[in-house]
Structures are given as C-alpha cells and as structure tokens.
A and B are shown apart, each in its own frame.
Chain A
Amino acid sequence: METVDIKQPVLQLNDKLAKENRENFAKHGVYVLNILASPGSGKTSTIMATIDALRDTYNIAVIEGDIASNVDSERIAKLGIPAVQVNTGGACHLESDMIKRAVDQLDLDNLDLILLENVGNLICPVDFDLGENAKVMILSVPEGDDKPLKYPGVFQASKAVILNKIDTLPMFDFDQKAFEDHVHALNHEVPVFPISATNGQGVDAWADWLSKHIEDAHAQQGE
C-alpha cells in the first residue's frame, strides 16, 4: 500500500469560479452583497426596502436563489428592478457557477449594486464563496436572541448583521442587548442594524452603511 498526496481544496472549482466572479465584479465596479438568513426571516423584504432607499442613487439588480420557485424574483421584477432567478434544484446553497451564469444575464456595465438572496439556511451557504464583496446576515426577532450561539459560523463570516422585524419586539422575549453581546463575542466589530423591513424603521442607517461600501468599491475601481 502506498500513500499518494493530493493536497487539493475540496471546493477548488467553486473557489476558482468565485475568484473569477470577484474579478469580473471589480472590473465593472459593481458591489455584490451575499445575503444569508433563515427561511422567512425577511430577506426579500429587506432587499425591497434596500432598493427603495437606494434606487435613486444606484443602479441595482437582484439575484434570487431559491430551491424551486420564482415567487421572490417576481416580487422584485414588479418593482422594475432586473431580477434573475436561480433555482438550485434542491441544493441548500448557491454555488459560484450558478452566479456566473446568472450574471451573464445582467448588464454589469450599467450596474452599481447586486443584491444576492441566498437559499434560506444558516449553515451551508457559509462555506461557499460566490465572489461577493461582503456577506451580510439577517436575523429576525421571532427566531430568538440565542441564534449566534447555535450558528456561530454565519455571524463570524458576516461584515454586517441586520436584526429584522424589530416592530415585533413587544411580542417576543427577544433580548436585544444579549443578542448584540453574543454577536460581538463572535465578531468583535461587526455593525448590527436593527430594522423593520416592512415599516422602514432603521433602514436608513443600513442603507448608509451599504452606500459607503459601494463608494469604496467605486473608488478602488478608479485607482
């Protein structure tokens, strides 16, 4: 018996295509956000609120990852925003080749921002780089303040955390201070944005953060 060295990343192909995506986005000065959250936490609603806040300033497109349906992309298309649906056919996360094909359907030259709704899942999408500028995670109040203790990976991987559905705080025993402490223990300086995607509360602060990052991406492209 002999041992043959392979020494190869398991996700080599995914990482390679992610890198190509990232270079493509940078070349066109497009900022790409990979949005991670549980089913029903308000990913699509937050995307719609973000569009509302930023559509006068930036050209935006959306890529909707879903196991099967195209309900979400239709919601976005109704707003007059380009939306590409990616059905993963049962897979629990998006992979970089799916994004590559979706992006082919978009006019990158005329875009500043792509919002990417990943499949509702706090685990699998974390391991798959798509070529995004940043991952952000959305947790909604009804899910409970202990989630950072159960899903540390997604909180560590995120550059910003959105706490959605804060209009429902009076209905739940969600401890906002405890939640932020748990988050910051995992990811010391990550900003937390409490919002209500449906009534618009807090969305401005989130949109400001995002605008700043889009501008930084533009500035880097200019260099």
Chain B
Amino acid sequence: MRERLGLLRRSISVGIVTEKYPYKPIEVPEGFRGKPVIDQDKCLGCGACVNACPPNALSMTDDLDRGVRVIKLFLGRCIFCGRCQDVCPVEAIKLTREFELASINHNDLYQEVALVMAKCMVCGRPYTTIRLVEHVASNLPREQRSHLLLCPDCREKHSSKKVSYARW
C-alpha cells in the first residue's frame, strides 16, 4: 500500500509531460541531422557525395544532349547520416535542422542541380563540369592546367604520347 501511495504522490507531482506538438513547434538541438540541402551556387558536380551516400539517395547523371551534369537528391531515400556533408570539398551540401518533410507532393522530396559540362578540346565529348575544371585549375600551378581541358581518354593518349617521345 505504501508503494502505491508513493507512486501516486510522485506521479501527481510530475504533472503533465506530453507536449502539444504539432500545435506547438518542437526544438531540436544544435547539430541535429535533418534534411540535407544542396547549394546550387556552390556545387561543383564532383560526385563525391554520390559515392559516399550509403542508401543511394544522391545520384549523378550526365545528360549529354543538354550538355549538363545533374546531381539529384531524393529525400525519400535519405537516412540523414551526413556523409555527403563530410565529403563535399566546398561545403555545397549541408544538413539542416529541418525534419518535418511530409508532403502531398512527391516533387517536394527532390532537389536537383544541373551544371553545364566542359567539352574535351580534342574529341569534343562533354566529360566533367565547367565549375569543377575551374575549381581544380585554381588549385594547380599554371603550367599544369592545360591537360584539364581534355577528357580522361584523350588525356591518357596525350600523356602516353609525351612519355613515348621522352623515351624515344
């Protein structure tokens, strides 16, 4: 009996503990891992986030007809792990504290960045984004920049030609 009264007393002293959510907003702490957002102006289209993303919520496709590379995020697959944010070289994708993602419109769950692709100087094939070329170039000494304008295949041919000249 004593235990019962004790429990009753304590429960009354605690009072109401439920929250009025969703009628009142709920605070989430600093560093909460919510919806990732891609910054259109910063993204280079390097694909690092796509490779890191465990559930394939991020994808990268090259649309050669339009000459653009598309980085696409589908929140329906996202697990809010933040790996994309870890690996992005320019802080273009970041997790926010937003977590109320339910929507009646499927399209609300997609984010897309389309970046114009650079064409290979030799074969003319689009091979990466202009922004990525610029980004890499800005980190390279001037004399090493020229091969950035070639696609990987032509670059290889080009450099092996150089190597064979050297040997010869």
**Chains A and B are bound partners:** no
